[in-house]
């Protein structure tokens, strides 16, 4: 614990935010990830040609705000708002997000040749993402590690655990006065 190298990060919205915000605009409520996943099972992921932001960029960074905006405009253009539209939009969104996550993970594997890859955060609960992640790892003969569903929670828990180890190993000062710093680096 305590040795990290950032090789890619989101430049705006994360995958979970894209799910949450898109689900909200489709009237599915919050949190959006589980609802998108459930509705996507009944939908056609090819109905809407949504963008795969930054997928072909040289960096390993992500961007999902443009995808969220594409969902908004595509959804608003539809004259008939019925269940099938929601199913197809959810499936198309889920496919686009997973294509980006798996595509960037594949790029990272090719560049860094890891022995193991790990999936984490709330989006790690997505069934299709889990399947695609395992399939990707197997195709490169790399081990994969995915937490049980009950441990696929918000990234705040992971950041809290990292902070715990930093304090435990005396690499960080314990402060009683806390202020929110949303873009603080994990060092």
pLDDT in tens, 148-181: 988 887 677 777 777 788 788 776 666 667 777 7
Token duo for residue 144: 């994969």
SS3 119: coil
Question: Cα 162 vs. chain centroid, distance in angstroms?
Answer: 19
Alpha helices for the chain (secondary structure H) = 15-25, 32-40, 65-77, 83-112, 127-139, 155-168
How wide is the angle at C-alpha 125 spanned by C-alphas 19 and 117, nearest 5°? 110
* pLDDT, the chain, mean: 90
Q: Does the predicted TM-score (pTM) go above 0.85?
A: yes
């Amino acid at each position: 614990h305590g040795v990290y190298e950032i090789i890619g990060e989101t430049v705006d919205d994360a995958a979970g935010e894209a799910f949450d915000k898109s689900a909200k605009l489709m009237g599915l409520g919050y949190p959006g990830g589980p609802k998108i996943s459930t509705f996507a099972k009944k939908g056609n992921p090819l109905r809407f040609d949504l963008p795969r932001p930054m997928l072909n960029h040289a960096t390993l960074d992500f961007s999902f705000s443009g995808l969220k905006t594409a969902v908004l405009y595509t959804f608003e253009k539809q004259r008939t708002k019925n269940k099938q539209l929601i199913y197809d939009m959810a499936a198309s969104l889920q496919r686009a997000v997973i294509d980006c996550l798996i595509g960037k993970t594949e790029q990272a594997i090719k560049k860094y040749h890891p022995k193991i890859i790990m999936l984490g955060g709330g989006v790690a609960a997505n069934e299709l993402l889990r399947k695609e992640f395992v399939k990707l790892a197997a195709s490169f003969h790399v081990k994969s590690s995915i937490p049980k569903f009950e441990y696929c929670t918000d990234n705040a828990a992971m950041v809290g655990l990292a902070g715990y180890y930093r304090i435990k190993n005396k690499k960080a000062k314990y402060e009683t006065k806390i202020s929110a710093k949303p873009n603080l680096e994990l060092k």
